[in-house]
Amino acid sequence: MKTLLLISHPEIEDSGSQQYLLQSLPSSAAITVRHLDTLYSDGKIDREKEQAMLLAHDRILFQFPFYWYSTPSLLKKWQDEVLTEDFAYGKQKNLTGKEFGLVISVGIKETEYQAGGREGFTVNELVAPLRALANKLDMQYVKPLIIYQFHYLSERDRMRLLIKYQQYLTRQHPDSLKKREDWLVEQVQETNRTTISTEGWFILEQALSIVEDHRLAIDELAMLLDAEGEDY
């Protein structure tokens, strides 16, 4: 599956969260990254180029900071000029079946975005217009990856974020335990052993062994349940 990551951030060089995510990107030919503010600093969007990029990918992701409960202005302009009638909707709907997801960075606590919080609504509620966009274009909407207060995350939480981010970009949706396991196995198999210490590689092999044992246990349980079902 090919992923198109459309990033909109007018001050990306000064953004700690965006720089961390960019450095966390998997080195995969299946991921195309386009920073709209760099490509279109003059505000003149190449509609044909952008539409061609959409057609060439299976998963479309918007990555942006949460500005006034919405996307930055250039990403909104991109939507207005690229997602045109008879391309994205109308007689021709060229994006039907493609995945559509959001990677959103938020500057305040998650507890503020809820009923009773300072903002009064969850982020998921506030991005309803983008869910409606996916619905209109017959795209498969993927639950957003929301990053709250990146600068306050511990190193452990940042590592968890890195894994979630890489999975969000590369793993098939919707999420499931099996897909997480498949993703882990695939990532280890693609890893260049010479770039990892002996201790690190031992840990990876142990993780794969645990995954395999877990799968065997589930298969045995499924066989047991099937056998019990046949007895009734």
Res 213: pLDDT: 67
**Domain limits, the chain:** 3-175, 176-232
CB 196 within 8 A of CB 203: no
CB 122 within 8 A of CB 84: no
3-class SS at 115? Answer: coil
- 3-175 maps to CATH 2.30.30.170: no
Lowest mean pLDDT among 55-64, 83-92, 210-219: 210-219
CB 118 within 8 A of CB 112: yes
Res 107: pLDDT: 94
End-to-end CA distance of the chain: 43
Mean pLDDT of 104-130: 95
Question: In this predicted model, what pLDDT tens digit does every residue of 123-177 receive, in sequence order?
Answer: 999 999 999 999 999 999 999 999 999 999 998 899 889 888 988 998 876 555 5
Q: Token pair for residue 221?
A: 């349980």
More confident residue, 118 or 217: 118
Q: Token pair for residue 133?
A: 């966009």
Q: Residue 187: is its pLDDT beyond 90? A: no
pLDDT band at 219 (very low <50, low <70, confident <90, very high): low
Res 123: pLDDT: 96
Distances (CA, A) of 50 to 7, 70, 142, 198, 227: 13, 21, 21, 44, 54
Distances (CA, A) of 4 to 1, 86, 104: 10, 21, 16
Res 41: pLDDT: 95
Mean pLDDT over the full length of the chain: 85
Question: In this predicted model, what pLDDT tens digit does every residue of 11-64 receive, in sequence order?
Answer: 999 899 999 999 888 777 799 999 999 999 999 999 999 999 999 999 999 999
Res 152: pLDDT: 93
Percent of the chain clearing pLDDT 90 (strictly above) = 62
